Amino acid sequence: MNWTGKKVLVTGAGGFIGSHLTDMLARRGADVRAYVRYGSRGSFGWLEDLDKEVYRSLELVQGDLRDADSVMRAVKGSEVIFHLGAMIAIPYSYVNPAEAAQVNVNGTLNVLNAARLFGIEKMVHTSTSETYGTAQYVPIDEKHPLQGQSPYSASKIGADKLAEAFFRSFDLPVAIIRPFNTFGPRQSARAVIPTVIVQALTGTKTRLGSLTPTRDFTFVEDTARGMICAAEAPEVVGTVTNLGNMKEIAIGDLVTLIARLVGKPLEIEQQNSRVRPEKSEVERLLADNSRAREVLKWTPQVSLEDGLRTTIDWLREHLAEYRRAQTEYVI
């Protein structure tokens, strides 16, 4: 696909992955409309961290996914939609499950309805590996059963099924991309990797929940590139495609690796308050990325260690921001 002049809407553009994807699309020449959740501060999130020339090229739009009229205005005139906007915080979803459902399910329905009304060329809907729950077999392929082990994951399953329904019912050209544990610069301070890195850079102790769960980490630029590959591949319309590394690491081993890269010992203090409810903990995630390799021609290019080095260097320069309270989601 030639992205030069292509009219693209990115929801959740001010968030972690969204800001990287927006940057990548703008640098490829796309005419990007960046949709972010309205806040009283008037902030556009991590988009404000982009290169000034890239930032000035964006059409910045504030709104709320739960407001159908706001979504309609954002979608109108777009040719391609990347839907990343969501309430992403798992701990917050235990406290406010209704908000998770309203944003992730109803918000996605609003995007799908608008995409259908305006006849968009392609929509890439962002799922999450959390929809699989704890692995029933590994590696996890796209046929793995879905399991709502938290209100967040249940809401994302609902959103995914709506996207599938709009393809099957209305022939909407939507592809579902399911990333596994993306990490990198600009990630929420409450995610495990920035949590450990910031604690390592500022002290000698890290406070975490369970150390035994395993995760399959993908560097954010690889995830964003995979989303663009999905928009370019007609074969993935109406299907789900995993984006992951096919490599897993336990959280305890991840802490050891980060401590080595930072260059100082790090004591681990387990805190019960950080542990998920027993039946809600996802113990193992390991992606099967065969479909992405075969259909998208996508392979991860950044190793876990190299991605962690980049993230550590970035966090050194942004410690002040990460020591302040961070917002959990940008819609």
233: tokens are 């591949």
328 within a domain of the structure (yes/no): no
165 falls in which pLDDT band (50, 70, 90)? very high
Can you give the pLDDT at residue 320? Answer: 84
Distance CA 251, CA 11 (A): 30
Which sequence positions are flagged as catalytic? 152
Domain of residue 210, CATH code = 3.40.50.720
- Per-residue pLDDT tens digits for 73-123: 999 999 999 999 999 989 899 999 999 999 999 999 999 999 999 999 999
Q: Which SS3 state, helix, strand or coil, does residue 158 take?
A: helix
pLDDT in the model for residue 206: 84
Task: Give the structural domain span for 99.
Answer: 7-322
Q: Confirm whether 327 is domain-assigned.
A: no
Number of Cβ within 10 Å of residue 147's Cβ equals: 16
Residues 199-238: pLDDT tens digits? 999 988 887 878 889 999 999 999 999 999 999 999 999 9
Does this model's pTM top 0.85?
yes
Tokens 């799908």 sit on residue: 112
Residue 64 lies in a domain: yes
Residues 2-16, mean pLDDT to the nearest whole number: 97
Which residues on adjacent β-strands are paired with residue 8?
A: 32, 80
How far, in Å, CA of 180 to CA of 77, rounded?
Answer: 31
Angle between helices 107-118 and 68-75 (to 10 degrees): 40
**Residue 330 confidence (pLDDT) above 50:** no
Return the DSSP state at 294: I
What is d(CA 72, CA 83) in angstroms, rounded to the nearest whole number?
13
pLDDT at 174: 98
Q: How many domains does the chain have?
A: 1
Amino acid at 185: P
99-117 core/surface letters (b: 16 or more CB in 10 A; e: else): bbbbbbbbbbbbbbbbbbe
Closest CA to 300 of 243, 249, 239: 243
Residue 14: inside a domain:
yes
Per-residue confidence (pLDDT) for residue 323, from 0 to 100: 64
Tens digit of each residue's pLDDT (9 = 90 or more) over 110-154: 999 999 999 999 999 999 999 999 999 999 999 999 999 999 999
* pLDDT attached to residue 201: 93
pLDDT at position 272 is 62
**Average pLDDT of every residue of the chain:** 93
